[in-house]
Amino acid sequence: MLTMATLVASITVFVLAIFLGFELISKVPPTLHTPLMSGANAISGITIVGALILSNAQFNSGDPGFASWLAFIALIMATINVVGGFMVTNKMLEMIAGKKRRGGN
């Protein structure tokens, strides 16, 4: 049950996290702009949690219902976002790291 108190608590978390986000990445070298965007994008795939919860549905004679199919599509999209996002970010960062190793000596 959602009450006024829990709603205000959630909004507090929301506002504080926004300030946190602003402070977190105020200084980033341009090299890391693309990986950062891609990594942050993968983290926004956290909506996968919601998709999982709503995908919990029973097949009534082979059909879980339209709403559950939507959740299923959401789950696929969120998983692509998460898995692909972290992998692509890792791929980019490996290249930068490789370059740094060679450049350091």
Partner 1 sequence: MVDPVIWDIGYLVSAAMFILGIKRLSSPRTAPQGNRLGAYGMLLAVLVTLVKMYTEGIIGYELIVGGLAIGSVIGYVMATRVEMTEMPELVALFNGFGGGASALVGLSEVLKRLQNSNIPEPGVELYATWVAIGLSGIVGWVTLTGSLMAMGKLRGGFYIPFTKKDDRGRRKWVNFPTWGPQWLNIVKGSILLACISLIVLTVQEPENYGYIYSLVILSCILGVLFVIPIGGADMPVVVSLLNSMSGIAAAFTGFVIGNNVLIIAGSMVGAAGLILTFIMCKAMNRTLIAVLFTSFGGGGRELVTRTKVGSDPEEVAMVCDGIAKCVIIPGYGMAVSQAQHAVKEFADLLEAQGVEVFYGIHPVAGRMPGHMNVLLAEASVPYEQLIEMDEINSELPETDVALVIGANDTINPVARTGEGPLGGMPIIDADKARVVVIIKRSLSVGYAGVDNNLFFEDKTMMLFGDGKKMMNELNGAIKEL
Q: How far is the CB of 97 from partner 1 (least distance, A)?
A: 6
Q: Secondary structure of the chain: what % helix, strand, coil (to 5)? A: 80, 0, 15
Q: How far is the CB of 94 from partner 1 (least distance, A)?
A: 7
One character per residue 55-94, x = contact with partner 1 (rule: CB under 8 A): xxxxx----xxxxx-xxxxxxxxxxxxxxxxxxxxxxxxx
Exposure pattern of 17-49 as b/e (b: 16+ CB <10 Å)?
eeeeeeeeeeeeeeeeeebbebbebbeebeebe
- Report whether 57 contacts 71 (CB < 8 A): yes
Q: How far is the CB of 19 from partner 1 (least distance, A)?
A: 7
Q: How far is the CB of 62 from partner 1 (least distance, A)?
A: 10
Quote the CA–CA distance of 51 and 84 in Å, as a whole number.
Answer: 17
One character per residue 10-29, x = contact with partner 1 (rule: CB under 8 A): x--xxx-xxxxxx-xxxxxx
Site residues for partner 1, 29-48, by CB under 8 A, read 29-48
